Amino acid sequence: MHILQRAAPARLQLREMRRYPDVTHGPLRSRLPDRVQIVEVGPRDGLQAEERTLPTETKLALIERLLDAGHTVIEATSFVSPKAVPQLADAEEVVRRLPRRDGVRYPVLVPNERGLERALSAGASEVAVFASASESYSRKNLHRSRDEAIEGYRSVIRTAKDARLRVRGYLSMVIADPWDGPTPVATAVDAGRRLLEMGADELSLGDTIGVGTPAEVQRLVGAYRDAGVPADRIGVHFHDTYGQGLANVLAALELGVATVDASTGGIGGSPFAKQAAGNLATEDLVWLLDGFGIITGVDVRKLAAISSWMATELGHEMPGRAARALAGEASVRRGVAGGSPQ
Ligand code: MG
């Protein structure tokens, strides 16, 4: 008898490893919010870092898929100079063709008045401005000092608010900067508060190089709280460079933050840490939050399917973990269903 035939085992039933146990209690769960608003940044923060420029149709198909997975806030594109970011040179067309749905927001990045004008004429209803908490990154990325860059947004934010747009402020390098070293907490708080005082509705704190740990995240978010900034005006934006992304999210959630940026597939590395992992992967985040019974409205299996579709469109494997694990789980299951002896 053939060895493989003889080895066929009693049929083991592979089960889904997921499980939603009763997790609404417990010492950690009780300190976390019941809902988290995910800001999906893949179509902007992710795609701008890719070598391959996707056709407009593919970007719109990505956004459709993200909507179908349950996303309600999707950062759609950027109005920075097309010379600086050619991957997003079709920003006007993307915004004009966005699928309009009730309860769905599409922030777009604007670097200055000119970018805001372009965004407004394309029909954007929410914009994001981006500053740095550190000096060197501001000079290298924005070509102005930190204070000049922040002050430069005063008129941008005012014009946007006059046009009844919602405004998100990004603050990069809140933990450390590759040239300046650790960012003093007081400096990071002061920079972010200025954007809020100028009228930004929400501040996204970015650990752009992903060096932060939960202790530093709690120190920073706690300092914002002590400075009178409510947690509901703060979002967090983590990179997974040192594998701290999810732990840092938990640290922020424990202090009342309930808005988290993430990128499906985990694309979007920092241009100054090329060896680094990219943004926190949305599907990894949703896997974590599902485990606590925290509502996001987003379907982790649909995200995993999007991630493998993106791998084909972008021509490389996605860095996120959960999508890979779910794809592996599915292929093992297919193998068993097909009667493979292994
Ligand atoms: Mg990012």
Sketch the domain layout of the chain as residue ranges.
Answer: 33-295
Q: Distance between CA 288 and CA 253 in Å, rounded? A: 12
Tell me the average pLDDT of the chain: 92
* Residue 2 binned pLDDT confidence (cut-offs 50, 70, 90): low
Q: Distance between CA 208 and CA 218 in Å, rounded? A: 16
C-beta of residue 163 within 8 angstroms of C-beta of residue 180: no
259 phi, psi to nearest 5 deg: -125, 125
Contacts of 44 (CB under 8 A, 6+ apart): 75, 76, 77, 78, 88, 108, 109
CA of 331 from ligand 1 middle (Å) equals: 31
Q: Which one, of 183, 187, 185, 247, lies nearest residue 209 by Cα?
A: 183
CA of 288 from ligand 1 middle (Å) equals: 19
Which helix H or strand E contains 305, and what residues bound it? Answer: helix 300-314
Average pLDDT over residues 250-274: 89
Task: Tell me what pLDDT residue 275 has.
Answer: 54
Q: Which one, of 119, 66, 111, 127, lies nearest residue 91 by Cα?
A: 119
198-207: pLDDT as tens digits: 999 999 999 9
262 phi, psi to nearest 5 deg: -160, 165
**CA distances for 45 relative to 185, 208, 251, angstroms:** 25, 11, 23
110-158: pLDDT as tens digits: 999 999 999 999 999 999 999 999 999 999 999 999 999 999 999 999 9
* Residue 286 binned pLDDT confidence (cut-offs 50, 70, 90): very high
CA of 95 from ligand 1 middle (Å) equals: 21
CA of 173 from ligand 1 middle (Å) equals: 11
34-50: pLDDT as tens digits: 999 999 999 999 999 99
CA of 222 from ligand 1 middle (Å) equals: 22
CA of 341 from ligand 1 middle (Å) equals: 44
CA of 282 from ligand 1 middle (Å) equals: 12
> Both tokens of residue 162?
């006059």
* Residue 269 binned pLDDT confidence (cut-offs 50, 70, 90): confident
CA of 142 from ligand 1 middle (Å) equals: 16
CA of 278 from ligand 1 middle (Å) equals: 7
* pTM for this model (two decimals): 0.92
CA of 238 from ligand 1 middle (Å) equals: 7
CA of 243 from ligand 1 middle (Å) equals: 15
Q: Which one, of 114, 105, 60, 107, lies nearest residue 82 by Cα?
A: 114
CATH topology of domain 33-295: TIM Barrel (3.20.20)
Q: SS3 for 126? A: strand
C-beta of residue 281 within 8 angstroms of C-beta of residue 262: yes
Say if residue 271's pLDDT is above 90. no
CA of 4 from ligand 1 middle (Å) equals: 49
Q: Distance between CA 288 and CA 247 in Å, rounded? A: 10
* Residue 341 binned pLDDT confidence (cut-offs 50, 70, 90): very low
CA of 240 from ligand 1 middle (Å) equals: 10
> Residue 204 carries which DSSP code?
E
CA of 196 from ligand 1 middle (Å) equals: 20
CA of 208 from ligand 1 middle (Å) equals: 6
CA of 225 from ligand 1 middle (Å) equals: 23
